[in-house]
Amino acid sequence: MSSFKFIEAGGITSVPGFRAAGVTAGFKRSGAPDFALVVSDEAETEFAGVFTSCLFAAAPVRLDRERVRDSRRLRAVAINSGIANACTGEQGMRAARESCRIASELLGFSPEEIAVASTGRIGDQLDMDLIRKGLELAIPALSGEERAGADAARAIMTTDTVPKSIAATLEVGGGKVTIGAMSKGAGMINPTLKALHATMICVITTDAKIAKPLLMEMLAFDAENSFNRITVDGDMSTNDTVLVLANGRSGVEILPGTPEAEAFREALGDVMRNLARRMVGDGEGATKLVTVEVVNARDAADAKLAAEAVANSLLCKTAWFGNDPNWGRVVAALGYSGAQFDPDRTDVFFGALPVVKAGGPAGTPEAELVKAVSGPEFTIRCDLRAGDAEYWVWTSDVSYEYVKINADYHT
Amino acid sequence: MSSFKFIEAGGITSVPGFRAAGVTAGFKRSGAPDFALVVSDEAETEFAGVFTSCLFAAAPVRLDRERVRDSRRLRAVAINSGIANACTGEQGMRAARESCRIASELLGFSPEEIAVASTGRIGDQLDMDLIRKGLELAIPALSGEERAGADAARAIMTTDTVPKSIAATLEVGGGKVTIGAMSKGAGMINPTLKALHATMICVITTDAKIAKPLLMEMLAFDAENSFNRITVDGDMSTNDTVLVLANGRSGVEILPGTPEAEAFREALGDVMRNLARRMVGDGEGATKLVTVEVVNARDAADAKLAAEAVANSLLCKTAWFGNDPNWGRVVAALGYSGAQFDPDRTDVFFGALPVVKAGGPAGTPEAELVKAVSGPEFTIRCDLRAGDAEYWVWTSDVSYEYVKINADYHT
């Protein structure tokens, strides 16, 4: 019925009818690219967005929420890195609106068809001259080539060490649709949400023909099972933004309640999980990607509490950095998570190795456990034997480099 | 009516009728002292205890909970450091009981009059020969001199860099009572409690005459306002134990509902806060002690959520280590804490300096802000302007040394 395939070197411009650019406007002192623009060539481009649930939502987040609520179509997303435009009060909101107005003037779309995103230092005001400069440089550079998508992905980076793009094709409904995406985010990454939200900046493009309500529903579901499953430092950002634009160019219509919708939603989820995973792998100072799986919890809420407690435990994260199979820290985190279970029935596995059996040491030799946590990637599975609910989280370790990055980032 | 005075060099043996010792039994590979014994010379010694709320409560915690529930009197507390006797199953419980049995045999008290506490590595079984050795060395060394209390305080340390003891006198009810205390704890320190609990090991002695129910009530109240207000790493321990022993030797009787009870409770709280504060100051790798104060929150629960979010934020803690007044991380943490307030009315102060005014930058020059967070101690006050509830937490920064200690502790 459907066949899904990743395009490893792909990105947002792998999708017909989207162009992008990444340029240096001057927001970053380093001189690295810091302004990205994504444009859809189809007037009837549907869209959806999910955002941080932090009360101090940045000005661009507040503006984009208006777009999701009020705008019928979206034609462009302008993103700057280096300045978050968060905690900038009325002046910050005016700056976000003014960014759309300038983009509108230069691109010829209405301001309501333009979204913005920002990432970087909190508390500084956007320099509108730099926004204009970014747009004036980016617009002539707009291109549908893969290289242009890669430029955009590079321009939205902050503490990321590598840009993150992906694309995929899906044969569905007698046609082929393409999904492209780029994301940034290596710090202030945390899945402990109160309401549905995402945890970084991500722009997704597709040429499927999907109406906004269905796209919104799919994005929310897939965010919950991708970006909301990752944590680097347990700190939720003020600027988390995920936008998806669907320009309909493929002619493949995705209608609610159909097998095609299910296939598309899954493909969208696969694309988002691909990026989410790479964001954790590129987490600030991270040397390891750890999957924390909780199984047989009493209910879904308990499974999540338990998995997130282990995934965010500073003692666990520093132990992993030290190749230290200190499972006492894992069970302590399970025990204080708030999940209800019988500690004396709990089992824990590192990969396939039993570590804790019925709440006590499983007896696996220390040397084997050290090996299990010494690779760049491993899974910790916690069986609470209290029900049948499960949850998983991707997390990273905390290294000297993490402290270095975050003690020095500001200055 | 009452006059309270700290005895700075004092400790558990500053209190008449208590003796203590600290010896090397061999639990620590380093050869450092690792076994402490505290004994009351009065048969009618009342006691109370509060413990971790971690589900994986260690065997000694489970045993001490039985004592609090079932025993009328307590005469001795035996504490080993190096092995936590946590996640050790039935064998661990047998070991805790056997420790009391051996102590009973050697001290002549009934096993039900003896409590135990352990701290150190999780998952290893207690070596009963070392427990016996510890007791055999400690009993002849028991002394009421201050030096003996200091020895005990030293023997319960793990990653602590300094021992922590304090004593105080209180003139009350026409007499004088003394309160002495020692505590340990530099890591796995976290106040995010589900139920009343403490977050480390602490033994408090007093010669006041107080019945168990009142002592229990006072201890619970004071723990909430001292040890439950501190965090080092956000990880709650499996072994947290606070025990208070009241031997009545002073003849000063403290009865419920009297001004004397209020004065004693306050004195007990001051002693516990003195230790709590020093525990954070000696937090693993800590270079700074930060007081996070939230005022004018909607309600007590919100005030606590907001203060603890900032106090446990890894991004805030690394910024403080870097002398970085990155207030964006503070407001982000307030914003994701779950507390309800209007971000655009929020004020934040570093010491006396305004940092955030009505949700935006207050305009205080960066150099002044850097100075404010560069000292060994400062206060961050967050005014949510949503009500009149308040809460405070003592926290520390996260340094390279923190990562070093916790990546290497196990091996």
Return the pLDDT at B196: 35
| pLDDT tens for each residue of A48-88 | 999 988 889 999 999 999 999 999 999 999 999 999 999 99
Chain B CB contacts of A333 below 8 Å? 235
| pLDDT tens for each residue of A356-411 | 999 999 999 999 999 999 999 999 999 999 999 999 999 999 999 888 888 875 53
Nearest CA to A313 out of B83, B334, B406 is that of B406
Query: Residue A105 corresponds to which tokens in the numbers above?
Result: 């003037």
Last-in-domain residue among B232, B265, B281:
B281
A274 and A309 both lie in a single domain: no
Please check the confidence at residue A254 and state whether its pLDDT lies above 90.
yes
Please check the confidence at residue B191 and state whether its pLDDT lies above 80.
no
State residue A233 phi and psi, 5-degree precision. -130, 0
Contact A325 B410 (CB under 8 A): yes
B219 and B318 both lie in a single domain: no
State residue A6 phi and psi, 5-degree precision. -75, 145
Angle (nearest 5°) at CA B398 between B396 and B399: 125
Strand partners, B361: B356
Return the pLDDT at B189: 59
Query: Residue B279 corresponds to which tokens in the numbers above?
Result: 């525990």
Nearest CA distance, B187 vs chain A (angstrom): 9
B144 and B16 both lie in a single domain: yes
Query: Residue A209 corresponds to which tokens in the numbers above?
Result: 């023909």
Confidence of residue A252 (pLDDT cuts 50, 70, 90): very high
B184 and B309 both lie in a single domain: no
- Tokens 């208590």 belong to residue: B18
Provide mean pLDDT across the span B214-232. Answer: 91
Relative to beta strand A253-254, strand A209-210 is parallel
> Taking the C-alpha atoms of B49, B215, B183 and B145 in order, what is their torsion angle to the nearest 10 degrees?
-120
Return the pLDDT at B406: 85
Expressed as residue numbers, the domain containing A401 is 289-408
A243 in Cβ contact with A79 (< 8 Å): no
| CATH number of the CATH domain containing A346 | 3.10.20.340
Measure CB to CB from residue A359 to each of B87, B334, B402 and give the nearest one: B87
The better pLDDT of the pair A407, B17 is held by B17
> Across all residues in chain B, what is the average pLDDT?
92
Quote ipTM for the complex. 0.85
Confidence of residue B236 (pLDDT cuts 50, 70, 90): confident
B277 and B293 both lie in a single domain: no
Q: Which candidate in A199, A238, A346, A364 is catalytic?
A: A199
Return the pLDDT at A55: 87
Return the pLDDT at B194: 33
Query: Chain B: residue nearest A123 by CA?
Result: B361
A118 and A149 both lie in a single domain: yes
Provide mean pLDDT across the span B225-239. Answer: 86
Provide mean pLDDT across the span B250-279. Answer: 94
Best residue in A83, A87, A93, A288 to probe B by mutation, most B CBs within 10 Å? A87
Residue B344, chain A, CB below 8 Å: the answer is: yes
- Counted across chains A and B, CB pairs separated by less than 8 A come out at 227
Chain A CB contacts of B53 below 8 Å? 336
Query: Chain A: residue nearest B235 by CA?
Result: A313
A267 and A372 both lie in a single domain: no
Please give the tally of structural domains in chain B: 2
B270 and B300 both lie in a single domain: no
Nearest CA to B36 out of B50, B23, B55 is that of B23
A69 and A211 both lie in a single domain: yes
Q: Is the torsion defined by CA of B361, B365, B367, B370 positive or negative? A: negative
C-alpha radius of gyration, chain B, whole number: 22
Please check the confidence at residue B410 and state whether its pLDDT lies above 90.
no
Rounded Cα distance, A118 and A141, in Å: 20
A14 and A147 both lie in a single domain: yes
Confidence of residue B386 (pLDDT cuts 50, 70, 90): very high
Confidence of residue A2 (pLDDT cuts 50, 70, 90): low
Last-in-domain residue among B265, B281, B297:
B281
Chain A CB contacts of B333 below 8 Å? 235
Q: Residues A275-313, buried b or exposed e (16+ Cβ, 10 A)?
A: bbbbbbbbbbbbbbbbbbbbbbbbeeebbbbbbbbbbbb
Q: Considering only the C-alpha atoms of chain A, give the largest distance between any 2 of them, rounded to a whole number of Å.
A: 69
Provide mean pLDDT across the span B213-218. Answer: 94
Return the pLDDT at B231: 86
| pLDDT tens for each residue of B141-180 | 999 999 999 999 999 998 888 999 999 999 998 999 999 9
| pLDDT tens for each residue of A308-337 | 999 999 999 999 999 999 999 999 999 989
Provide mean pLDDT across the span B367-383. Answer: 96
> Across all residues in chain A, what is the average pLDDT?
92
| pLDDT tens for each residue of A233-244 | 888 888 888 999
Residue B173 gets the label, from left (phi > 0), alpha (psi -120 to 50) or beta, of left
Query: Residue A360 corresponds to which tokens in the numbers above?
Result: 């006590």
| CATH number of the CATH domain containing B151 | 3.60.70.12
To the question of pTM greater than 0.95 for the whole model, the response is no
Last-in-domain residue among A229, A260, A281:
A281
Nearest CA to B241 out of B205, B207, B279, B198 is that of B198
| pLDDT tens for each residue of A206-229 | 999 999 999 999 999 999 999 989
Residue A121, chain B, CB below 8 Å: the answer is: yes
Residues ≥6 apart with Cβ < 8 Å to A160: A184, A185, A186, A279, A282
Chain A CB contacts of B332 below 8 Å? 54, 56, 86, 122, 188, 235-238
B103 in Cβ contact with B21 (< 8 Å): no
B332 and B371 both lie in a single domain: yes
Confidence of residue B195 (pLDDT cuts 50, 70, 90): very low
Edge-to-edge order in the sheet of strand B347-350: B230-231, B389-396, B289-297, B377-383, B347-350, B353-357, B360-361
Nearest CA distance, B120 vs chain A (angstrom): 10
Residue B84, chain A, CB below 8 Å: the answer is: yes
Q: Which candidate in B159, B199, B206, B291 is catalytic?
A: B199
B48 and B87 both lie in a single domain: yes
Instruction: Give rounded-to-5 percent helix, strand, coil for chain B.
Output: 35, 25, 35
| pLDDT tens for each residue of B306-343 | 999 999 999 999 999 999 999 999 999 999 899 999 99
Query: Residue B110 corresponds to which tokens in the numbers above?
Result: 């009934």
Rounded Cα distance, B198 and B185, in Å: 11
Rounded Cα distance, B23 and A100, in Å: 72
